[in-house]
Amino acid sequence: MNIASLILAAGKGTRMKSKLPKILHKVGGKAMVERVLETVQSIGTNRDVVIVGFGGDAVQNYLGDRAEFVRQEEQNGTGHAVKMAQPVLGDYDGTILLLCGDTPLVTKESLEALLEEHKNSGAAATILTAHMPDPTGYGRIIRNESGSVVRIVEQKDGKPEELAVQEVNTGMYAFDSKKLWPCLDQLSDDNAQGELYITDVVGILVNGGDTVSAYMTKDFEESLGVNSRLQLAEAESILKNRKNVELMTAGVTIIDPANTYVAPEVTVGADTILHPGTILEGDTVIGERCEIGPHTRLTNVKVGNDTIIHFTYGHDCEVKDGVDVGPYVHLRPNTVLGNKVHVGNFVEVKNSNVGEGTKFPHLSYIGDSDVGSGVNIGCGTITVNYDGKVKHRTTIGDGAFVGCNSNLVAPVTVGNYSYVGAGSTITKNVPDKALAVGRSKQIVKENWVTDDTFKKK
């Protein structure tokens, strides 16, 4: 089946009270329109067109080359928005899947079921519907005595008996492309809002002798559109709960699901424990038998098996097997912590490769460094990587011991199994198995404090 998606994303979203286009507000760490686009692309669309209007440049910049774009300069309803795409998709031969950019909760499974119904029924159009406990604000699906769909009635145009219907239009459709475009020329703005409704296409098709089918989604929450900050929070909560259920079903322990936030794209292995305050975002992958949190945020982080990370912020880095991190640690981009590394409290590691079994117990900054295996870094050690113009790298060999309160001024190398004395500032390379001490000579002045000193106080 040839499928082209058409995503309506031109509205301003005045109820959001924001200068940012509504569909760029994020749910689960991604813009709503991005979630919709990725969902339709997951079912195998061969073209994707996004209708933009308010903030169109920002939407295009955000999505880049992942879609084609059409401008709707004047917003005159959903039917008018679809007409704007006719110059781009007018010759397309296949199925046009129409969605709204503010429905980030729709799933791949529901869209596949919609398309399957559309294919099997041979309908000119198929509507994704939902049974809504409170249908207020949604268009109602009106069927005849035999159960066939005859039209969609909008909230502002419905009669009392029509508004009592609880089957609603989700705003998602599959259209036969050859049937769709002629109907658009028959749309009228003679309605309560004075706009061209895409919903009127259903009645036009039926009156012309065509069949309109429907598929009802099993979960009405998939159809929820986001028009306000309150609805944005509701969508976030639904997405979060959906992911938490998926993880717990697969063998992950979540101590407090209400206070654990895992993005849909994140992978977590079995027998891992997530403590309260854990936030896992982006392309994060957590291995098996790990313990994450409490109060840990990981964004685009790959974590191996049997690793503990707590009270930590990490992003765009990798933590391998059997590592112990935290509390109060910052793991910055391009950092790789090898197996069985220990990173203790108040440590920051940036753009560094750290070998197996190395320890940073506490109060250190390790930046732009290549650290070998079995290294011990004393409290307060700093790799001084920036000379005011350029970042330089520090190399620390296997088995080295760096005493507390030391400064390693890059570019510099500390050799294998060498020692750096406590309180040293190292500016020159240290050979293998050497001892380096770089500090001022201690001076002691006896009787510095006299009885008169105390009298003055």
| Torsional class of 189: left (φ above 0), alpha (ψ -120 to 50), beta (otherwise) | alpha
Give the phi and the psi of residue 165 in degrees, each rounded to 5: -70, 135
Q: Is residue 102 annotated as involved in ligand binding?
A: yes
Give the phi and the psi of residue 294 in degrees, each rounded to 5: -75, 165
Dihedral in degrees, nearest 10, Cα atoms 327, 332, 338, 339: 30
Angle at which helices 108-121 and 32-41 cross, to 10°: 50
Give the phi and the psi of residue 343 in degrees, each rounded to 5: -125, 110
Are 348 and 330 within 8 A, CB to CB?
yes
* Residue from 118, 295, 362, 392 carrying the catalytic annotation: 362
Q: Is residue 307 annotated as involved in ligand binding?
A: no
Q: Is residue 169 annotated as involved in ligand binding?
A: yes
Q: Is residue 154 annotated as involved in ligand binding?
A: yes
Q: Is residue 376 annotated as involved in ligand binding?
A: yes
Q: Is residue 438 annotated as involved in ligand binding?
A: no
Amino acid at 371: V
Q: Is residue 296 annotated as involved in ligand binding?
A: no
Q: Is residue 350 annotated as involved in ligand binding?
A: yes
- Residue 131 annotated to the active site: no
Q: Is residue 139 annotated as involved in ligand binding?
A: yes
Residue 230: count other Cβ atoms within 10 Å of its Cβ.
10
Sort 445 into a burial class: Cβ within 10 Å, 0-12 / 13-18 / 19+.
exposed
CA gap 387, 175 in Å, rounded: 62
Q: Is residue 227 annotated as involved in ligand binding?
A: yes
Q: Is residue 447 annotated as involved in ligand binding?
A: no
Looking up tokens 């774009």, which residue turns up? 69
Q: Is residue 166 annotated as involved in ligand binding?
A: no
- Show which residues are catalytic: 362
Known binding residues for acetyl-CoA are 385-386, 422, 439
Residues comprising the binding site for Mg(2+)? 102, 227
Binding residues: 8-11, 22, 72, 77-78, 102, 139, 154, 169, 227, 332, 350, 365, 376, 385-386, 422, 439
Binding residues for UDP-N-acetyl-alpha-D-glucosamine: 8-11, 22, 72, 77-78, 139, 154, 169, 227, 332, 350, 365, 376
